[in-house]
Structure 1
Amino acid sequence: MALAGLLLTGQALAAVPSERRGKAPARAKCARCHAIDRVSSSGRAGAPPFRERRHRFPIEMLAEALAEGLYTGHAEMPSFQLNSNQIDDFLVFLKTLA
């Protein structure tokens, strides 16, 4: 039983660097308008908090958009593109908000 607890703790600790790396682009590109945590309000009216993303569509569906580059119809949202490792980390981060 104690071994199972150690394994789970090890798995949780292993996820931390990926989550941290995934939060970096969210902090740099998105946090000005969107809440990127579990409790804060978004800084811009109408900008949904990241924790609500999973209610709108599956998080995995973002992978293609992030690889091709996110572009929107309003100038305030920066366009950006992530590589495959950054996408994996970003999705890990988003899943922690669920």
Structure 2
Amino acid sequence: MRLKPLHLLCVALPLAACQSVPSAAPAGGASATALPGQAFAEASCNGCHAVGRYGSSSNPNAPPFPAIANQEGLTAETLSTWLRGAHNYPSEMDFYLGERQVDDLVAYMLTLRDPNYRRRPD
């Protein structure tokens, strides 16, 4: 017996309907569109800094990432240089960042720039 194209379609559609569809969000609750630097910031910096676009830092001495990203004169190069120089870190930031982590973190932080950003008064 030879199957016609219509018969093949009738067999293929039910089989396709049985296939599992991957979740839109990766495991762990991270956004599917999260940048690697964002994931790193949420895991490593969030204890002191507000790492998202909005919010206050839990440590009053740790500026929110948008306040850092929107500093006048800040560039990818100046931020990268500061992050690569561990001697710049306050004692609370006593950890090492690899080259890729710095690049990813800088790329993420620069997404927080906003031409309408206004620093909160101290």
Instruction: Please tell me the TM-score bracket, short chain as reference.
Output: 0.5 to 0.7
Q: Structure 2: which amino acid aligns with 1:52? A: A
Question: As a proportion of its length, which structure holds more helix?
Answer: 1
Q: What is the CA-CA distance between 1:65 and the residue it aligns to? A: 2.8
Q: What is the CA-CA distance between 1:42 and the residue it aligns to? A: 0.5
TM norm structure 1: 0.63
Contact residue 22 and residue 90 of structure 1 kept, 8 A: yes
Q: CA RMSD in A?
A: 2.7
Hey, what does 1:69 align to over in structure 2? 86
Q: What is the CA-CA distance between 1:92 and the residue it aligns to? A: 1.4
What is the 5 A alignment of 1:1-98? 20-53=35-68, 54-55=70-71, 57-60=73-76, 61-69=78-86, 71-73=88-90, 75-83=91-99, 85-98=100-113
**Greater C-alpha radius of gyration:** 2
Q: What SS does structure 1 have at the residue aligned with 2:93?
A: coil
Q: Distance in 2 between matches of 1:26 and 1:63?
A: 15
Q: Distance in 2 between matches of 1:63 and 1:18?
A: 23
Contact residue 34 and residue 43 of structure 1 kept, 8 A: yes
Percent sequence identity is: 30
Q: What is the CA-CA distance between 1:35 and the residue it aligns to? A: 0.2
Change (3 A) 1:80 1:89: same
Question: Runs of at least 4 residues of structure 1 off by over 4 A?
Answer: 16-19
Structure 1 unaligned residues grouped into runs of 5+: 1-15
Change (3 A) 1:82 1:19: farther
The one of the two structures with greater contact order (alpha-carbon pairs below 8 A, sep at least 6) is 1
Q: What is the CA-CA distance between 1:30 and the residue it aligns to? A: 1.2
Matched residues, number = 81
